[in-house]
Structure 1
Amino acid sequence: MKTSFSEAVSSRPVGLFQLSVVLAVLLVLLFDGMDAQSLGLVVPIVLKEWGIARAEFGWALSASIFGMGVGALAGGWLGDRIGRLRSLFVSVLVFGCATIAASRAGDVPAMTALRFAGGLGFGAAGPNALALATEWMPLRFRTYVVALLAIGSPAGGSIAAAIAPFVLADYGWRGLFLAFGAGSIVVGGLALLVVRESPSFHLAQGRSDKAHAVARRVFGAQVELVPERADGPRGGIDTGVFDRANLRLTLGASLAFSALTALVYSINYWGTELFTSRGLSQAEAIGVIFWGGIVSVLGALLSGWTVRAFGSRATIVACSLAAFAVTVALGAVLGQQAPSVAAVTVLACALGGIGSLGIGTLYSTIALGYPVSCRSTGIGLGMMTGRAGGILMTFYGGSLLDLGGASVMPFFAVAAGCTLLVGASAWIVDRHVAPARPE
């Protein structure tokens, strides 16, 4: 009997190879997050070493975010043509080498150029990782896999924050960059050796013999495969990412990603400077980022369950309202003369958890919403356009802090506005993940 690979893999128990694919991809995303977070952790140190103002450094901080946007679309496009696995490995080489090179930077222009190059790799990794892992898993587990992979960046940031104090004490910020970059390349090489391209992709490319060979090796038996049926509004016809059928999905997801990225990156990239400027020590500020990342991991993992239980639309709206309340509260606490470290930590953790819950939900929405033929490109396009808010908030975050002077109101007013845009986006998207039916 002929069947699609998604149907075939969904009718069988999850095997060791499939678990190894998810683990390998997760490790790549962990190092992606570590490299991406590295500069944000050392902002006060670099500002002091180079003798520059916060606003001047916005170029360097925002460069990687801009690179991520370009890299997400380019990497997604490449993944739909040469394969998700090859594109994933290329992305790791790019951001690993760029992070190593950044350890030698001596001024803002050099750091900006290298972080942009690294951002290309950071961005390209995401869509290919999601597409590759979800195509190997049964349909019933895909939202959970997306949720697990969504912890890559926040968990990587937390690992970086945990390691940073020890590495900085002995080797400085340059040693930190060197270690993270080298580790990324090693992990990328291991992933290339372990993982295989999915039969779904081979079939979409017209390589039926290759698809059947891979499926036979994994299943241990011959399976008669046919290309995936696109579950879109065109009744099963494959559509391109720019087709009208995908327009509302792309626009709504882009708006939500943009707003959530602005919110999360405002803390990840300017958090240490914001907290230290309000009286916290460098160690306390990094500690807040560390615990925020830990809770972010929990939020991302929770998204797999909430999407299946309540659907993606209800989850996104709930995240919007909760994030608004927490953002206002955090701004009020930091506006005090001597803010409580405990209160700042709790609120920052809550914001990180809610943000990751929302991002994980969006990943599930777009990963399951686009057909195989343009899945990587669709995910990449959503990520690219969604970086706009992150770029603006990262670039102008220092200016907002300077604008407020002794007040954090301008900074948090913009952050609160972003939370409301997330809720609005839920009604633009027309291809939400519906709640799972009781079995």
Structure 2
Amino acid sequence: MSESDATARRRQRTIFWVVTLSTIALVFDGYDLVIYGTILPTLLADPGQLGAITPGQGGAIGSYALVGVLVGALAAGSLGDWIGRRRIMLINLAWFSVGMGVTALTRDVTAFGIGRFVTGIGVGALVATVGALVAEFAPAGQRNRLNAIVYSGVPAGGVLAALLAIVLTDAVGWRGLFWVGALPIVLVLPLAVLKLPESPKWLASRGRFEQAKTLAERTGTTLPSASMEPPGGTRTGFPALATKALGWPTVLLGLMSFAGLLLTYGLNTWLPKIMNDNSYGKSYSLTFLLVLNLGAILGGMAASLWADRAGAKRVVATTFVMAACTLAMLPLSLPLGALLLAVAVAGVGTIGTQVLIYGLVSNYYPTRARAAGVAWCAGFGRLGGIVGPVIGGVLIGAGLGGTTAFYVFAAVAAIAAVVTLTVPRAHQTEEELPVVASTADGPHPEQASAGR
């Protein structure tokens, strides 16, 4: 076996473990974010579980996890560019698992709410970190594809939560479902300790060049030239985002994520209710949600392949337009088959688009600001995740009906498409560019894909 073949095999093995462990982590994140909704009817109906809970309190408790996600994402952004991606991943796999286990042991509403908030911190930190980690190991022509695989773990975890709730609730109760969410500390964390490497690019960005070189050789990773200074100069983390080169793009990318998560949480919360009000029976509720999320997973993967060729920005703008069109169609009297197709496409344009946004953001920033950039978009976007369900609730509570909610969501998607098109092209330097040969027609297309 030649040295180049051995290096390629080491690189493939490293990418496999990075992508696999990151995906599994986000599957459990998606599980956590959805499992509360599956047990809420039990908590509302049976005061013997945690005490009497009103619907208003139930909704507030649901938001505690989202606030925790915001805190966790911003904390990971502050620390991830300073202490490394691997440490953040390992710490928060344990944090998240302990949070789920502690929540399973709670006996009153206050303790349960605190448990949800603490668990959310771990969720947010993982969501904000895996994008930076994957971007720094993925080959240039596969970055959007691998990010899509990893972030599709979130809707996949949601599907898993819904299915396990149906199958296991009678056998293990709601506490047992939370213990399932605590499994990463025994099933995933030990494997991550053994198999998850630190990013050589991050080590190099911190001036630890000998360690970076040694780790790059062991993992088969190529270290690009560091002779050019990346955007943000010598600033690291959030301070780099405030520089002239990155300030305006950071605002626009945050707005894109805000819109994507507003649509994601708004639809996941209100789609069953709205469709039920439009004369579809309750039996269709799970079907519509499954179609929405499966459409996001499959369509998001297909869109990520396109993004690796045409550029993520162009594809995100297109999928936002797809969301605007299909959301405007959902109130129409469509045949059931056409309606399900429209819901699937809406899943691509909302949840699937958010997956693509994470990929775009992960590849937009230089190494020294990457964790902060992803954390900013995950954290600020989470505010959209809080606003989305509120918009639906206000419109429906005001008697305006689900039709108006769909039109409002469609307008948000259309505005987000325009915002996406205004994002400046990513400034790439020798530090960030992969080492690839130029072609007769100019630079290899992989070098220009991240910010188009």
TM-score (norm 1): 0.84
Deviations 1:163-194 (A, max 9, x none): 22101232233321221222465323322221
In structure 2, the partner of 1:123 is: 124
Instruction: Check the 8 A contact 1:58/1:395 in 2, yes or no.
Output: no
**Structure 2 segments unaligned to the other structure (5+ residues):** 429-442, 448-452
- Structure 1 residue 65: deviation in Å? 1.9
In structure 2, the partner of 1:3 is: none
2:292 alignment partner, SS class: helix
- Structure 1 residue 433: deviation in Å? 9.8
Is structure 2 residue 21 aligned with structure 1 residue 24? yes
Q: Let me know the Cα RMSD of the aligned residues.
A: 3.4
- Structure 1 residue 257: deviation in Å? 0.8
Which residue, out of 417, 422, 428, partners 1:423? 417
In structure 2, the partner of 1:143 is: 144
Aligned partners of 2:409 and 2:166: how far apart in 1? 28
Deviations 1:84-112 (A, max 9, x none): 01101222222222223333456654443
In structure 1, the partner of 2:312 is: 312
Is structure 2 residue 370 aligned with structure 1 residue 375? yes
Residues 225 and 311 of structure 1, relative CA distance in 2, 3 Å threshold: closer
Instruction: Check the 8 A contact 2:143/2:308 in 1, yes or no.
Output: no
Q: How many residues align?
A: 422
Aligned partners of 1:343 and 1:109: how far apart in 2? 45
- AA matched with 1:326: T
- Structure 1 residue 197: deviation in Å? 0.2
In structure 2, the partner of 1:299 is: 299
Is structure 2 residue 79 aligned with structure 1 residue 78? yes
Aligned partners of 2:383 and 2:74: how far apart in 1? 13
In structure 2, the partner of 1:132 is: 133
> Which deviates more from structure 2 when the two are superposed, residues 301-310 or residues 82-91?
301-310
Deviations 1:38-57 (A, max 9, x none): 11333444333356554443
Deviations 1:213-264 (A, max 9, x none): 21232349xx887548555497x99881221211122111111111110111
Residues 215 and 362 of structure 1, relative CA distance in 2, 3 Å threshold: same
**Structure 1 segments unaligned to the other structure (5+ residues):** 1-7, 334-338
Instruction: Check the 8 A contact 1:91/1:121 in 2, yes or no.
Output: yes
Alignment of 1:225-374 (within 5 A): 227=226, 229=228, 232=231, 240-271=240-271, 284-332=284-332, 345-374=340-369
- Structure 1 residue 404: deviation in Å? 2.7
- Structure 1 residue 322: deviation in Å? 1.6
- AA matched with 2:69: M
Which residue, out of 34, 44, 48, partners 2:45? 48
In structure 2, the partner of 1:15 is: 12
TM-score (norm 2): 0.82
Which residue, out of 28, 33, 37, partners 2:30? 33
1:217 alignment partner, SS class: helix
- Structure 1 residue 331: deviation in Å? 3.8
Residues 272 and 250 of structure 1, relative CA distance in 2, 3 Å threshold: same
Residues 177 and 282 of structure 1, relative CA distance in 2, 3 Å threshold: farther
Aligned partners of 1:351 and 1:228: how far apart in 2? 44
Alignment of 1:149-188 (within 5 A): 149-183=150-184, 186-188=187-189
1:240 alignment partner, SS class: helix
Instruction: Check the 8 A contact 2:317/2:421 in 1, yes or no.
Output: no
In structure 1, the partner of 2:199 is: 198
Instruction: Check the 8 A contact 2:72/2:122 in 1, yes or no.
Output: yes
Which structure's relative contact order is higher, taking Cα pairs within 8 Å and 6+ residues apart? 1
- AA matched with 2:115: L
In structure 1, the partner of 2:389 is: 394
